[in-house]
Chains A and B, each alone.
Chain A
C-alpha cells in the first residue's frame, strides 16, 4: 500500500465515521447558520448586505466551522484511542495528516455550500461574478484546513485544547481570512482582477501550508 492509498484510507474512514455519526457536521452547520444570522442581526440588514461585510460575516463563520469540524474529528479519534494505531504504522503520520485534511475539507465544503446558500438568501448581497465567487470559495475552503489540522495535531492531548487550537491557528490564518473576505467581496461587487488576485493568493497559501504541514507533521507528533 503506497502513501496515497494510506491517506485515502484514512480519509474514507473519517468520512464513513462522519456519515454514521454526523455530529461534527451537524454542529458545524448549525453553528455556522446561527453565526451568520446573529452577525447579520448585529450589523442590521442594510449594513450586512454590503459586499465587504457580507463576505466577512460568511468567512468568519466558516473559520469557526473549520475549527469545530477538525476538533470534533480528532475528539472521535481520541475517544477510542484509534489515533495511536494509525500513528504506529509506517508512514502513518503523513497519512493521518493528508487523510484528515481531505476528509475535513470535504465536510467543510458541504458546510460552506449550505452557509453560502443561507447567506445569499438572508442577506441578498447581489452577485456580480458568480464564477469568480465560486473560485474564491473553493480556494478558501482549501486554504483554511491545512493550518487548523496541523495545529490540532500539535495540540493533541494538551489540556484546554479546544481553546488552544483557535488561539494558535487564528493569528496564522489572518492573511487567509483577509484573502477570502477581500476576494469574495471583489467577486460580489464585480471587480474581476481583484477577485482573481486574491484567489491566486489563496491557492498559494493552500499549497504552502499543505506542503509545510506534510513536512513538519512526522517530526511534530511524538
Chain B
C-alpha cells in the first residue's frame, strides 16, 4: 500500500527565496568571471569557461548523488516523496550534465583543436549522461507507480557507481584532460586566489540554481502524485 504523499517538503519556506538568490548570485558570479578574474597566462580569456564548466560538473555529481540517496530512501521507506525527489534531481542532473558536455566541448575546440576526443573523462561523462537518460526512459515507459519507482530506484542506486569513475578517470587512465583542480587528494586547489574565489562564487550560484530548479520540479511532481492518488481514491 502506497502512503499518501508526505507533507510539503521542508524546503517550502526557503523556496520563494531560492529563485532571487540564484539569479543574484549568478549575476555576481558572471561579473567576477568576466571582469574581475584575471586572464590566464597560458590560455588567455578562453579559460573563463571554467567558471561554467566546473560548476556544471559539480552539479552533475550532486544531482545524481541526490538521485542515489532518494532511491535508497524509496527502497527503504516506500514514501512517494523520495521518488519525486529522485525524478526531479535526475531531470535537473541530465540537463546540467548535457550542458557540462557542451561547455567542455566548446572549451576543447580552442585548447585541444577538436570538439570531441575519445578522452576517458569525456567518454565516462557521456556514459553517465546516457545512464540517466536511460533512467528517465525507464520511468516514462512504466505505468504502475510503485513498480516504476522501485525499478527506477534500483537503476538510481547502480548508476551512482559512475560518479567516482568520471571524477577519477583522469587519474586512472592516460588523459588529455587536466587533473582535478579543486577536489584533489592530498593537496589544496591549484588555482590563483582570485580565480579560486570566482570559481567558489560560481559554484555557489550554480548550486542555488540547482536547488531552485529542484524545488520547482519537486513541487510539480508532488502535485502530480497528489492528483494521481486522488484519482485512484
Contact = CB atoms under 8 A, between A and B. Distances in A.
B170 interface: no
Given A158-B142, A171-B127, A174-B127, A216 B154 contact: yes
B158 A172 contact: yes
B151 A158 contact: yes
B138 A154 contact: yes
A167 interface: yes
B138 A168 contact: yes
Interface size class of B (residues with CB under 8 A): 20 to 34
B145 to A, nearest CB: 11
Given A172-B131, A172-B159, A174-B127, A220 B154 contact: yes
Contacts of A151: 155
A222 B146 contact: yes
Contacts of B150: 219-220, 222
B131 A164 contact: no
A155 interface: yes
Contact of A171 (B131, B147, B151): B131
B interface SS class: helix
Nearest to A169: B134
Interface in B117-156: 127-128, 130-131, 133-135, 137-138, 141-144, 146-147, 150-151, 154-155
B89 to A, nearest CB: 18
A134 to B, nearest CB: 27
Interface string A31-52: 0000000000000000000000
Given A168-B155, A172-B159, A216-B154, A158 B138 contact: yes
Q: Which 6 A-B pairs have the closest CB atoms?
A: A168-B134, A154-B151, A167-B134, A220-B154, A171-B131, A159-B141
Interface of A: 150-151, 154-155, 157-160, 164, 167-168, 171-172, 174-175, 212, 216, 219-220, 222
